[in-house]
């Protein structure tokens, strides 16, 4: 299927969704050994706070012993493990990059499976919560990703998507833009050995929908109670949305009021 600008990630040189998926998989295959180090260095360790905030927003679901949680595009398993340790829910991690799953397994993330997030080999209405930290932006088709998450969520279930965004403050946006396009690629290439991966990162963020636009896409895709929270001056947005439950809301995430 041909790529459409603004509808999914568009790596340089990729003309189809299949080519884009191969590029993304190959890129993460290459950077997997130093992925965690790079995350912590390039974010000045703030990525740990972003994950903690995500966990705190879905804590009520994690406290339910019978809850099932799917962490999509789990990478090396940082969020998967944080979700597991935070409560009693059964947490499963999934990624389509084998070296990333190998790294996650080495951290003692035990429930893992390899799969493309757009075509999950799981039954419909299987999970109370689906999370995705910094992986949604790399989907080759955002709307298909939303539809697949909606499919595997139980009625009333919650989606929590943590992803980069565009800082709303113009001055801070300029400073962050300089860092992400001039400094981040050089440091990333030096540590990882992959210039392409850390050139792709700021470019993918630049092309990704702003938080308000992405929230609207979730509404159009059929989600209810769609909210987002900007973190660290808007560098990152935490999106929360529910699958409609015929008027009945399953206890879980507390959404902001007013």
Distance of CA 234 to the CA centre of its chain: 16
pLDDT computed for residue 2 by the predictor: 62
Where exactly are the structural domains of the chain? 17-166+209-242
Instruction: List per-residue pLDDT tens for the chain, 258 residues long.
Output: 766 656 899 898 899 999 999 999 999 999 999 999 988 999 999 999 999 999 999 999 999 999 999 999 999 999 999 999 999 999 999 999 999 999 999 998 889 999 999 999 999 999 999 999 999 999 999 999 999 999 999 999 999 999 999 999 999 999 999 999 999 999 999 988 888 888 998 999 999 999 999 999 999 999 999 999 999 999 999 999 999 987 444 444 444 433
pLDDT computed for residue 227 by the predictor: 98
CATH class of 17-166+209-242: alpha beta
């Amino acid at each position: 299927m041909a790529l459409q600008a603004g509808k999914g990630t568009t790596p340089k040189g990729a003309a189809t969704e299949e080519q884009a998926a191969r590029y993304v998989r190959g890129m993460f295959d290459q950077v997997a050994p130093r992925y965690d180090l790079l995350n912590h260095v390039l974010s000045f360790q703030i990525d740990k706070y972003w994950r903690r905030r995500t966990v705190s927003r879905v804590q009520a679901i994690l406290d339910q012993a019978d809850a099932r949680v799917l962490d999509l595009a789990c990478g090396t398993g940082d969020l998967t493990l944080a979700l597991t340790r935070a409560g009693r829910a059964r947490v499963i991690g999934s990624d389509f990059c084998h070296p990333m799953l190998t790294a996650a397994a080495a951290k003692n993330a035990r429930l893992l499976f390899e799969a493309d997030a757009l075509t999950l080999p799981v039954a419909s209405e299987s999970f109370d919560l689906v999370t995705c930290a910094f992986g949604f932006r790399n989907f080759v088709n955002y709307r298909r990703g939303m539809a697949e998450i909606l499919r595997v969520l139980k009625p009333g279930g919650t989606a929590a998507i943590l992803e980069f965004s565009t800082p709303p403050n113009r001055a801070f946006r300029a400073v962050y833009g300089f860092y992400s396009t001039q400094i981040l690629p050089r440091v990333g290439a030096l540590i990882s050995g992959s210039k392409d991966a850390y050139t792709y990162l700021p470019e993918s963020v630049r092309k990704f929908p702003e938080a308000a636009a992405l929230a609207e896409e979730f509404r159009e895709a059929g989600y209810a109670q769609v909210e987002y929270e900007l973190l660290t001056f808007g560098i990152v947005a935490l999106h929360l949305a529910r699958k409609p439950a015929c008027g009945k809301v399953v206890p879980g995430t507390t959404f902001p009021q007013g």
